[in-house]
Structure 1
């Protein structure tokens, strides 16, 4: 999926020095890696920084079928001719945009090979199908993210790849900041926002449930939105927080009972 950053200022609440680090990474032309669980604000952070730097942002949501061809480009049939169509990575390299490879470890291995020459001092993109080498625009920046807690084994990023980036770890915000995020994102009242955050933190600490993923800030925002639009609180938490986490009926009932006591 390909998206450009919006004119509207993306809301982002800093939790540390990540904005300052990103600016230094950009000015020194060093690739940037975001590590952390899903729904902790990684994508929103990149949208915010692209806006702050007044740069076009191209986002690629990587999956197991994402290949280097998808990023670099391909030949297509146009009428009676075969023409070359630049992919999003080639476009970003040429025009000096920020490209964000979301969940890069999900992509096929040839994607990592394709970006290696862009993530060191060379800043070059090799296009084998054209026999061309492109020098990256001075304003080009490569950003990637992955979830080390979820992607294990063959989906782990190799040290040789990680060491080409400046890396920042993202985690769930502290309760005060997460409450502010919910209020600003959804206009929900502060008291309800605090209760939702408390539910999120309670479930995050229930490691004995064996959940593959836990409650993200994104899930809490979704719950707050539908509560603000009029859905009863307990029902909203059930459908926006509990159900997305698991399909196990006993775990669902346990989480539902817990949330009902807290909302």
Structure 2
């Protein structure tokens, strides 16, 4: 089956994922925002023809959200499985995006699924569920975001094998822009050059630098007919900062290089 999701491999990560799935070993993806972690998981789920269940974790995500809860339906109380329980039972790939953002009880809930037991205990039901053979746990996080505040403990990280993601080299990033947006090579090169220039401007103190995702968005806008400068402003500059001095500097840079 031909893949409908485009993904450009960088460092043999496809084979690592396949072996992780085959050997039932949890996989952790580490890297900055917009570096292709989620796209990679979607691509591999399609490649392996496995159902994918994605949970975008945030500071309010709890174990109950993942495992399930009782709800009132009509005159009775019924149990509703959460995404984690569904994935364990159905043999799906469960992707916990930005898992470090979730509440600590989420990490506790998945511990027994990340070792030889591969089982989930549902305390509200008093049941222990053995994971389907095709169940796979994949998690991602950004090690550089809020460093020292929201990080995974070493004891948690060592329950996974891990892949590091970063923004691709210029030639590969240009290929991604061309495939994702249909933009021509000349403009793709200019946009990638701008992205790399901004990534090297450490003096601006940006909390997050420009991601491949933002460069793809700019390419799509340019391809659709929006003026190049405005495309760069709205897709790259404005999402990066609210500081007037910083955005002015970034706009000037984009205008000069585009």
Is 1:240 aligned with 2:235? yes
Moved over 6 A (4+): none
Write out per-residue CA displacement over residues 200-219 of structure 1, whole angstroms, 9 at most, x where no aligned residue: 00000111110000000000
TM-score of the two chains, using structure 2 as the length reference: 0.98
Report the Cα distance in structure 2 between the residues aligned to 1:58 and 1:249, rounded to whole angstroms.
40
What stretches of structure 2 of length at least 5 have no aligned partner? Answer: none
Aligned length: 257
Helix, strand or coil at the partner of 1:94: helix
Aligned match of 1:4 = none
Helix, strand or coil at the partner of 1:16: coil
What stretches of structure 1 of length at least 5 have no aligned partner? Answer: 1-6
Q: Which of 131, 142, 166 is equivalent to 1:171?
A: 166
TM-score of the two chains, using structure 1 as the length reference: 0.96
Report the Cα distance in structure 2 between the residues aligned to 1:83 and 1:202, rounded to whole angstroms.
55
Q: Which of 119, 124, 138 is equivalent to 2:119?
A: 124
Write out per-residue CA displacement over residues 202-251 of structure 1, whole angstroms, 9 at most, x where no aligned residue: 00011111000000000001100111111100111011101110011111
How many Å apart are 1:152 and its aligned residue?
Answer: 2.4
Q: Which of 190, 193, 199 is equivalent to 2:188?
A: 193
- Assess if the C-alpha contact under 8 Å between 2:3 and 2:43 holds in 1: no
- Assess if the C-alpha contact under 8 Å between 1:105 and 1:151 holds in 2: no
Write out per-residue CA displacement over residues 156-210 of structure 1, whole angstroms, 9 at most, x where no aligned residue: 1000000000100000000000000000000011110110000000000111110
Q: Which of 66, 72, 75 is equivalent to 1:71?
A: 66
| RMSD of Structure 2 on Structure 1 (CA) | 0.9
Q: Which of 63, 68, 83 is equivalent to 1:88?
A: 83
Report the Cα distance in structure 2 between the residues aligned to 1:52 and 1:261, rounded to whole angstroms.
41
- Assess if the C-alpha contact under 8 Å between 1:179 and 1:193 holds in 2: yes
Report the Cα distance in structure 1 between the residues aligned to 2:4 and 2:103, rounded to whole angstroms.
33
Aligned match of 1:34 = 29
Aligned match of 2:142 = 147
